[in-house]
């Protein structure tokens, strides 16, 4: 089983990510990026190996989506670090990635080759990848929000808010892609682009919360505190939409998306 | 902005009163031509608000971010309620949020604000890429919300149960009523493949469909690969799951949704808008 090798790939990635994060704190920018990107490539190579071994996209189980999340958290860290140069961002994106890797190690799932007919669609891979990239960018936005709320109560810089805005803009754009790809796919699969299935309802909730952030920023550009709290709320909604829904009694009764 | 939150509260109270007096929203009354009349009234109202906004303060406020934020927040709140309550109509008002008046009124308000904002940005379209993104996002969402809602009553969904070797002309509606489709569908073969562990790998129907003109059209309908004849889209829906591979029964779902092309137009506008937003970000013009 390919999954038995996961811990080794994860260990090498974690080591390279932690090294990269430590180098970033010491302002060794290029070595930091090289180490961090190497860690991300090692992690990605496991995902590709899994794709090949399973003969299907590794996106069916919750554990498989967590792989993509960890990967895109690292990618978001790389993007933010190389563009805005915050030396702390790699540490946070590493922690986020490692949390979900740990969940995968503690709660492994059965990864069979079987793919139910509803998932055999050209929409499957783009729908999941676009969503997971969006989750990664919005995870980075959450890190920014936490950083501002905890460490920068009164002296938030324009650079920090603009970073957050840019992360949300990119994340929201991809969130929109993911949701609408899902709608187009549902139309092909079931003849209904939107059915208020609990997963769809929570996708709408997540989307609306990020819309609330965007419009609040335009309406009250100086009230950073409230804006950042909206991002925390949005992150919670996103996590409910992604996996929390499996534990919601309201969703369990009626959703086709519980997996 | 506080006024917007109060406005949303008043709408919700009005919705509760309507719910008590009239009962839940009956979407079926929107069937053609009621929906097109409502659409024209809605657009006329939008245009009136848009062109009189300099004269009436309330009209201008409706298109501002001070209305946008509370309308999103109220829609968000009621959608969270929907997400936390199992949507089973027998469980009372909150078990059927899409027929719950406060939910519907708040979403109509949101749609109205989105429409006004789209008109505002439309007037500034050529100023910047941000404006282009704003028009695509708001107009696209407006078209989706309006056409999906008004079109829902015109959408027909029929289940057609076929037996191998047999033909069928009618489908069954959700309420159990049988409806003639104008087609005759003959099931040659129900195809089923499984993985070694017994999970379904593929199920499909090998059919011949006789259309209105009498022509016979052969085809295979797979999950995710519907077939289109005479405006009907035919989806592989179900089979005799107890018989599994041995099933001789196939259930197709036939869908006719005349408003779908407009919903899709809105969806593609939103996709284009998200693409532009991805490239240019938002609110750069304020610098």
Smallest CA–CA separation between A26 and chain B, in Å?
A: 31
Residues A116, A124: contact at Cβ < 8 Å? no
Q: In whole angstroms, give the CA distance from residue A164 to residue A149.
A: 12
Closest CA–CA distance from residue A66 to any residue of chain B (Å): 23
> Is A246 an interface residue toward B (CB < 8 Å)?
no
Q: At what angle do helices A158-190 and A198-219 cross, to 10 degrees?
A: 150
pLDDT for A1 equals 78
Task: For chain B, give every domain's residue range.
Answer: 2-154+260-286, 156-256
Smallest CA–CA distance, residue A113 to chain B, in Å, is 9
How many C-beta atoms lie closer than 10 Å to residue A98's C-beta? 17
The yes/no answer on whether domain B156-256 falls in CATH 2.60.98.10 is: yes
Interface mutation target, options B142, B274, B279, chain A, most CBs of A under 10 Å: B274
Asked whether the predicted pLDDT for residue B19 surpasses 70, the reply is yes
Is the pLDDT reported for residue B282 higher than 70? Answer: no
Residue A215 to residue B72, Cβ atoms within 8 A: yes
CA distance A198 to B62: 31
* The predicted structure's pLDDT at residue A108: 87
- Cis peptide preceding B33, ω within 30 of 0: yes
Is A51 touching B (CB cutoff 8 A)?
no
Closest residue of chain A to B194, computed from CA coordinates: A114
Residue from A168, A118, A224, A198 nearest B84 by CA: A198
Task: Average the pLDDT over B235-249 and give the result.
Answer: 92
- Under DSSP, is residue A87 helix (H, G, I), strand (E, B) or coil? coil
The partner residue sitting opposite A166, judged by closest CB among B80, B85, B281, is B281
Output the pLDDT for position A68.
96
Name the pLDDT band for A251 (thresholds 50, 70, 90): confident
Q: Is the confidence metric ipTM above 0.85 for this complex?
A: yes
Work out the pLDDT band at B286, boundaries 50, 70, 90.
very low
How many CB pairs below 8 Å do chains A and B form together?
A: 141
Q: Chain-centre distance of CA A73, in angstroms?
A: 6
Q: What is the mean pLDDT of chain B?
A: 95
| Chain A contacts in chain B segment 200-259 (CB below 8 A) | 200-203, 222-226, 233, 235-236, 253, 255, 257
pLDDT at B283 over 70: no
Could you report the per-residue pLDDT of A178-191, keeping only the tens digit for each?
A: 999 999 999 999 99
Phi and psi of A191, rounded to 5°? 80, 15
Burial class, A239, CB count within 10 angstroms (exposed 0-12 / middle 13-18 / buried 19+): middle
The answer to whether B184 and B156 have CB atoms below 8 angstroms apart is no
The verdict on a CB contact (< 8 Å) between B68 and A215 is yes
pLDDT at residue B285 in the model: 43
CB-nearest to B281 from A118, A165, A250 is: A165
* A151-160, A173-182, B3-12: segment of lowest average pLDDT: A151-160
Res A112 pLDDT > 90? no
Residues of B with Cβ-Cβ distance to A118 under 8 angstroms: 223-224
Selected residue with higher pLDDT from B97 and B284: B97
pLDDT greater than 90 at residue B269: yes
Q: Report how far apart the first and last C-alpha atoms of chain A are (Å, whole number).
A: 21
Q: Indicate if the pLDDT at residue A7 is higher than 50.
A: yes
> Which parts of chain B are beta strand (E)?
156-163, 167-172, 178-194, 200-210, 216-222, 227-229, 232-239, 249-256
B195 in contact with A, Cβ within 8 Å: yes
- Record: contact B224-A121, CB cut-off 8 A: yes
Per-residue pLDDT at A250: 84
What pLDDT score does A155 carry? 87
Mean pLDDT throughout A49-72? Answer: 95
Looking at residue B44, its pLDDT comes to 98
The one-character DSSP state at A193 is S
* Whether residue B161 has pLDDT greater than 50: yes
Range with the largest mean pLDDT of A148-162, A199-213, B192-206: A199-213
First vs last Cα of chain B: how many Å apart?
Answer: 23
Residues 120-149 of A with CB under 8 A from B: 120-121
> Nearest-CA residue of chain A relative to B275?
A173
- B83 and A251 in contact by Cβ < 8 A? yes
The yes-or-no verdict on residue B246 having pLDDT over 80 is yes
On average, the pLDDT of chain A sits at 94
* Residues whose CB is less than 8 angstroms from the CB of residue A236 and which lie 6 or more positions away in sequence, other chains included: none
pLDDT value at position A256? 76
Nearest CA in chain B to A188: B224
User: pLDDT digit string (tens) for A78-105?
Assistant: 999 999 999 999 999 999 999 999 999 9
Judged by DSSP in three states, B281 sits in: coil
pTM for the predicted model, two decimal places: 0.95
Q: What is the pLDDT averaged over residues A9-29?
A: 97
Predicted confidence band of residue A153 (pLDDT cuts 50, 70, 90): confident
**pLDDT classification of B287: cutoffs 50, 70, 90:** very low
What average pLDDT does range A54-74 have in this prediction? 94
Residue of higher predicted confidence among B201 and B1: B201
A106 touches chain B (CB under 8 A): no
Give residue limits of the domains in chain A: 1-112, 124-259
């Amino acid at each position: 089983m390919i999954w038995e090798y996961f811990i080794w790939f994860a260990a090498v990635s974690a080591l390279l990510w932690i090294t990269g994060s430590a180098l970033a704190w010491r302002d060794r920018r290029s070595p930091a990026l090289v180490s961090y990107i190497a860690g991300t490539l090692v992690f990605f190579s496991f995902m590709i190996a899994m794709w090949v071994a399973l003969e299907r996209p590794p996106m069916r189980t919750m554990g498989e989506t967590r792989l993509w999340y960890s990967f895109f958290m690292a990618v978001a860290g790389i993007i933010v670090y190389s563009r805005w140069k915050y030396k702390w961002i790699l540490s946070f994106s590493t922690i986020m990635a490692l949390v979900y890797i740990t969940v995968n190690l503690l709660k492994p799932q059965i990864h069979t080759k079987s793919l139910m007919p509803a998932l055999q669609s050209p929409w499957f891979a783009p729908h999941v990848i676009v969503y997971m990239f969006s989750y990664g960018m919005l995870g980075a936005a959450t890190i920014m929000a936490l950083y501002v709320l905890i460490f920068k109560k009164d002296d938030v810089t324009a650079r920090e808010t603009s970073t957050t805005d840019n992360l949300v803009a990119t994340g929201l754009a991809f969130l929109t892609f993911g949701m609408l790809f899902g709608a187009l796919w549902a139309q092909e699969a079931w003849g209904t682009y939107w059915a208020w299935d609990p997963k769809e309802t929570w996708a709408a909730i997540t989307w609306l919360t990020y819309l609330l952030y965007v419009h609040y920023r335009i309406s009250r550009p100086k009230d950073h505190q409230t804006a950042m709290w909206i991002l925390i709320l949005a992150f919670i909604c996103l996590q409910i939409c992604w996996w929390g829904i499996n534990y919601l009694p309201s969703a369990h009764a009626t959703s086709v998306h519980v997996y | 902005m506080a006024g917007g939150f109060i406005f949303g509260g008043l709408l919700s109270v009005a919705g509760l009163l309507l719910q008590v007096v009239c009962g839940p929203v009956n979407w079926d009354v929107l069937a053609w031509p009621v929906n097109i009349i409502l659409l024209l009234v809605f657009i006329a109202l939008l245009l009136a608000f848009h062109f009189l906004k300099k004269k009436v303060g309330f009209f201008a406020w409706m298109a501002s971010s001070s209305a946008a934020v509370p309308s999103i927040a109220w829609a968000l709140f009621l959608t969270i309620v929907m997400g936390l309550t199992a949507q089973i109509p027998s469980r009372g008002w909150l078990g059927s949020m899409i027929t719950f008046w406060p939910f519907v009124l708040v979403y109509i308000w949101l749609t109205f604000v989105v429409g006004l904002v789209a008109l505002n940005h439309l007037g500034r379209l050529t100023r910047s890429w941000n404006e282009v993104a704003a028009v695509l996002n708001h107009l696209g969402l407006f078209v989706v919300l309006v056409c999906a809602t008004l079109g829902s009553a015109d959408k027909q969904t029929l289940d057609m149960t076929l037996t191998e070797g047999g033909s069928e002309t009618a489908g069954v509606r959700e309420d159990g009523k049988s409806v003639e489709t104008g087609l005759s569908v003959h099931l040659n073969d129900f195809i089923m493949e499984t993985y070694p562990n017994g999970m379904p790998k593929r199920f499909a129907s090998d059919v011949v469909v006789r259309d209105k003109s009498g022509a016979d059209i052969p085809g295979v309908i797979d999950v995710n690969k519907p077939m289109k004849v005479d405006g009907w889209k035919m989806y592989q829906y179900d089979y005799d799951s107890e018989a599994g591979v041995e099933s001789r029964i196939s259930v197709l779902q036939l869908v006719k949704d005349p408003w779908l092309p407009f919903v899709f137009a809105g969806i593609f506008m939103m996709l284009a808008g998200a693409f532009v937003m991805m490239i240019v970000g938002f609110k750069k013009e304020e610098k």
